[in-house]
Chain A
Amino acid sequence: MDCKKSQALLSSYIDKKISIKEKDLLELHLRDCEVCQDFFKDLKDTIKLINSLEEVKLPPDLFGDIQKEIEKLPEAKGFFQKPLWVRIPIEVLGTATVMLIIFFLSRSLIQFKTPEVKDVFVQKETEISSRWMSQEGSSTVIDTPEKPASVLKDDNQMNSLIEKERKMYREEDAPVRDETVDKKDLKEPGKIQQRQIASYFNEPPDAWEKSEKVSPAVTKKSDIKNKDGKIRNEYDISIQVDNLYDGINELTTQVHNHKGNFINPPAVMKATGEEDEQKEIIFKIPRENYYQFIWNLEKIGIMKEIIPVGSDKIGIQDVTVHLKIKAEK
């Protein structure tokens, strides 16, 4: 222990307010250090001097003055010394006030925690989720990779998502929604009636055959309905045409128009002669053109089914289509 530390501890040592370890070290140091010994002696003498200060004589009128001042103060009675008819209403009022405060606090906390449910319609081939709210508030929720069943809590979030999707699709390419639905209606709950979208993932294929002609919009919606939230890059499409030859020619035109590429180009067929009943054609088409292509495919024939198959690789730009084109006899 050095002198600085030793001198700092001496005051506490005098008052017996140091640990045993510090005491041992300090005494060991004091034994050999004359400087600290003198310091210690001077410190003790100083404390003795301070202790020797005499008590100051009390002013004789101090007690009287204090008494007078206290007499002036009103009689302070304890609460429990007050009569019952005073205590009970105060206690009841106090209890009622506390309960009211707790009640309003708990209500405001519940309101604060309840999330705001907004309608969102975000358009994207694999990331679109649509949430349709009935006036009663029930909804059909479609999971998305980004927002699986979560609620977009404010308009800013919703707007940014909509904006993002708009950038991916030009307005003219965007498939037409149900004509009964106006764009702004999508944001306003209650105006849109709940739509039942058949889940073609769950329904057997023959259900489609029984169904009515599928409109492009519904097709698109069911097409994008990905309950597992995976991005689809391959589709099996079945289409029924009046004439296979004309159907294939029209298909070829549409594939080219939408900047697609055939993986197995259909063989040129004669207008007359032997014709196959159906053909399977595989081609790739850019993702951003896919929906427009499907829309135009309606002009060729009746869409029978669209089944997403294949991988869930994110970031693949092209969609692979296995198209079965069948002539109606």
Chain B
Amino acid sequence: MKYLHQSEDLELIQKCENGDKKAFDELVLKYQTKAFNVAYRMLSNYEEAKDITQEAFLKAYQSMRGFRKDACFYTWLYRILINTCKNKMKNWARHPHVESLDSPVQTAEGDVIRTLPDKEPDPDQLLIKRETQRCVREAIDSLAIKYKAVIILRDIEGLSYKEITESIGCREGTIKSRLSRARIILKEKLKEVNKNGL
């Protein structure tokens, strides 16, 4: 997915600095899906991901004056998001909290499926696909935080190396080595999935 040009974001940021909350609403609408998906992949928990995304946007709004205009808004937002996720996961280490990725969420309309509706007509294919996705999610979830972050940003969100360095705050060499290591670990974990052609 392509992100909007940086100059358009800067205009909105300028308005936010002048107290225009509607400008910030536009930024939220633009990036909330991506932000939420990153949070969800990091935490593997729907409700927590929602809270974290909300918290990250609030922090971004409050720290708008600290935003360096030479950086991209979304990499800056991701940085806030990933750091907030890390803090949450550290808290979990003390108080374990696990929720199945497949359990439905209770809403006013009833249970809803977490993922977007599949377009696969064949139920068997649908089942295989879901099983594959579950394996991949579990494999990613088993990674250490530092490997998980780079895999999510690079292979799921499609950020460039430069954008990842801005989001995580590491040098490119570090990103390269972490990505390489993370992919090799996932390759080993998903060997069976790859072999069986799921």
- Is A56's CB under 8 angstroms from B180's CB? no
Of the candidate stretches A8-16, A23-31, A184-192, A288-296, the one touching chain B is A8-16
A43-B183, A46-B183, A49-B193 given as contacts; is B25 within 8 A of A58 (CB)?
no
A156 at the interface (CB under 8 A from B): no
Determine the distance from Cα of A58 to Cα of B57 in the docked complex, in whole angstroms: 15
A70 at the interface (CB under 8 A from B): yes
- Is B194's CB under 8 angstroms from A42's CB? yes
Question: Please, which residues of chain B bring their CB within 8 A of the CB of A43?
Answer: 183-184, 187
Nearest-neighbor residue (CB-CB) of A80 within chain B: B18
- Is B18's CB under 8 angstroms from A77's CB? yes
Question: Please, which residues of chain A bring their CB within 8 A of the CB of B49?
Answer: 56
A62-B32, A70-B21 given as contacts; is B194 within 8 A of A45 (CB)?
yes
Encoded as 1 (CB less than 8 Å from any A CB) or 0, chain B from 115 to 155 comes to 11010000000000000110011001000000000010011
A27 smallest CB distance to B (angstroms): 18
A268 at the interface (CB under 8 A from B): no
B37 smallest CB distance to A (angstroms): 5
- Is A56's CB under 8 angstroms from B114's CB? yes
Question: Please, which residues of chain A bring their CB within 8 A of the CB of B76?
Answer: none
- Is B133's CB under 8 angstroms from A8's CB? no
Partner of B180, one of A8, A45, A65, A75: A8
* Residue among B36, B53, B132, B183 with the highest chain A CB neighbour number at 10 A: B183
Determine the distance from Cα of A78 to Cα of B20 in the docked complex, in whole angstroms: 11
B86 at the interface (CB under 8 A from A): no
- Is A77's CB under 8 angstroms from B19's CB? yes
A53-B137, A62-B54 given as contacts; is B194 within 8 A of A81 (CB)?
no
B99 smallest CB distance to A (angstroms): 13
Partner of B156, one of A17, A53, A73: A53
A65-B54, A81-B19 given as contacts; is B156 within 8 A of A56 (CB)?
no
- Is A58's CB under 8 angstroms from B33's CB? yes
A112 at the interface (CB under 8 A from B): no
Give how many A-B residue pairs fall within 8 Å (CB-CB). 123
Question: Please, which residues of chain B bring their CB within 8 A of the CB of A77?
Answer: 18-19
Question: Please, which residues of chain B bring their CB within 8 A of the CB of A196?
Answer: none
B73 at the interface (CB under 8 A from A): no
Encoded as 1 (CB less than 8 Å from any B CB) or 0, chain A from 231 to 267 comes to 0000000000000000000000000000000000000
* Residue among B36, B50, B54, B191 with the highest chain A CB neighbour number at 10 A: B54
Question: Please, which residues of chain B bring their CB within 8 A of the CB of A8?
Answer: 180
Q: Which residues 33-71 of B sit at the A interface, judged by CB distance below 8 A?
A: 33, 36-37, 40-41, 46, 49-50, 53-54, 57-58, 61-62, 64-65
Residue total for A at the interface (Cβ-Cβ under 8 A):
38
Determine the distance from Cα of A73 to Cα of B113 in the docked complex, in whole angstroms: 34
Partner of B133, one of A42, A52, A75: A52
Question: Please, which residues of chain B bring their CB within 8 A of the CB of A98?
Answer: none
A–B pairs, 11, beta carbons within 8 Å: A17-B172, A49-B190, A49-B193, A51-B156, A52-B136, A62-B50, A66-B28, A69-B54, A70-B61, A78-B19, A81-B18
User: Could you tell me which A residues sit within 8 Å of B by CB distance?
Assistant: 7-8, 10-12, 15, 17, 42-43, 45-47, 49-60, 62-63, 65-67, 69-71, 73, 75-78, 81
User: Could you tell me which B residues sit within 8 Å of A by CB distance?
Assistant: 17-19, 21, 24-25, 28-29, 32-33, 36-37, 40-41, 46, 49-50, 53-54, 57-58, 61-62, 64-65, 107, 112-116, 118, 132-133, 136-137, 140, 151, 154-156, 161, 172, 176, 179-180, 183-184, 186-187, 190-191, 193-194
What 6 pairs across the A-B complex have the smallest Cβ distances? A11-B180, A50-B155, A46-B187, A59-B50, A45-B194, A56-B40
User: Can you name 12 extra interface pairs (CB under 8 A) apart from A46-B194, A70-B61?
Assistant: A7-B184, A11-B184, A42-B191, A46-B190, A50-B136, A53-B41, A57-B114, A59-B46, A63-B28, A66-B32, A70-B21, A78-B17
